[in-house]
Amino acid sequence: MSRIIDSGLEELSAILHKMGELGYRAVLTALTECFEDKEAYNEVREISDILVSMAYHVEDKAFELIARFQPVASDLRTIKSYMKIAYDFARFGRYALDMSYTNQKFGGIRNCETWMISHVKEMGEKTLKMISLSIASLRSHNSQLAEKVAQTEREIDKMYFDLLDKLIKRAATTKCTVSSVLIVRYLERIADHATYICESIIYIATGQKVILR
């Protein structure tokens, strides 16, 4: 039997799904800008601002549900997790905006060495994969699916430090060095937030707090 609070939880879930889609779009747009001669800062900034506004709305709606319905423990767990997930999705937008700003300042990495471009592209693809996985896990509250993010997160961490090691050993232009370091750092942070989302989903589904990093 449906409860009155269920419609509120469904509304929160729908907002989060939209946030996930927008977060993916922001990161993809900023990444594409890294490799192509195009300007995307204004588009990414608009998405980032929307994500922040939506995160505030999720927070307000969550407190409304708590105040009106005095939810039971399992509902409180879901509401708390939804608030955290909204914040993590908003961070996707913020880091995408930082990435786009770096592209504007230094011209992306399209004119850098081939190995550097290849490295960042691969890292970007893995990060987008993690975002997609976090969104899919959210849709189904599937804890087993959420757990799969851990392996990719470790791969991204390794790629981040591998690039730093290569830059130390190889001569690269200052612009390429600064751009690549900043971009992979933002990707690493986005991957972390995708992992946090999956940890929250496992908490919703099982009541267990796990660390996937």
In this predicted model, which residue has the larger pLDDT, 169 or 30? 30
Q: What is the pLDDT of residue 143?
A: 95
The pLDDT value given to residue 172 = 64
Q: For residue range 110-151, what is the model confidence (pLDDT) as tens digits? A: 999 999 999 999 999 999 999 999 999 999 999 999 999 999
pLDDT digits (tens, 9 = 90+) for 57-86: 999 999 999 999 989 999 999 999 999 999
Does 4-206 carry CATH code 1.20.58.220?
yes
CB of 123 closer than 8 Å to CB of 160? yes
What is the C-alpha separation between 48 and 109, in angstroms, rounded? Answer: 22
Contact 206, 143 (CB under 8 A): yes
The domain locations on the chain are 4-206
pTM: 0.94
Q: Would you say residue 171 has pLDDT above 70?
A: no
Question: Average of pLDDT values for 30-51?
Answer: 96
Bigger pLDDT: 2 vs 138: 138
Q: What is the pLDDT of residue 112?
A: 92
* Residue 170: per-residue pLDDT: 79
Provide the mean pLDDT of the chain. Answer: 95
